[in-house]
Amino acid sequence: MAVMKTGARKTDGLESVELVQLVVTAITSVCPISAHLWLMGVETGLRGVDLRDLAWDDIDLRSNVLRIRQSKTSEPVLVSLTDTARSILEKRHAMKGDQVYVFQVDSNRSKGGPISRSKAAANIKQAVDGLKYRGLLPFDLVISMHSSRKTLPTIMYADGVDIGTIAVTLGHKDTQHTLKYLNLTQKRANEVRQAYSTGIKA
């Protein structure tokens, strides 16, 4: 049985495509590279570190899959490319296909390398903070680069996809790890309990 956590919230996954669109649009206004990186994370379920290090030499744009070796596990994975993921790659290749990395930056500080974790995080935070101050996102929602990896399983789970399938999608060998991605907190359990009350007056 999964352990229910209380206290400080970890990074959240978004619960709908509409929220994903909202966040992507906001990040794009701050930094298009970070927006492409974040949306690619949603579409593939890959970790930010693996996406940031993705080089054009690693990609066959004619293929329907993305082949990478995960930095965390050192295991190779094949990720089916959605139309959106393919569109991101094709757009970036048209703009920057002569560079080494898919998400390469041209600033003097990081010239020739992929966008840094801290820069991507700062861009995402700036965009999300703007949405919160405009009342478009709850202030307690914690959105980061890792949220992109958590968003797909969050939406899948809300649509009734079973935990086993979600685990395979994320490359998890243990469904307990997958459950942690879904932010199954006691607060959420209480909300569900109320929503599914029979409403019977005894």
Q: State the pLDDT at residue 5.
A: 41
Ordered DSSP codes for the chain: -PPP--SS--PPPPSSHHHHHHHHHHHHHH-HHHHHHHHHHHHH---HHHHHT-BGGG--TTSSEEEEE-TTT--EEEEEPPHHHHHHHHHHHHHHTTSSBTTB--STTTTTSBPPHHHHHHHHHHHHHHHHHTTSS-TT----HHHHHHHHHHHHHHTT--HHHHHHHHT-S-HHHHHHHTT--HHHHHHHHHHT------
Worst-scoring range by mean pLDDT, 32-46, 79-93, 183-197? 183-197
Residue with tokens 């970790």: 47
For 131-179, how does the pLDDT look when each residue is reduced to its tens digit (9 = 90+)? 999 999 999 889 999 999 889 888 888 888 888 888 888 878 888 888 8
pTM: 0.81
For 82-124, how does the pLDDT look when each residue is reduced to its tens digit (9 = 90+)? 999 999 999 999 988 889 999 998 776 667 789 999 999 999 9
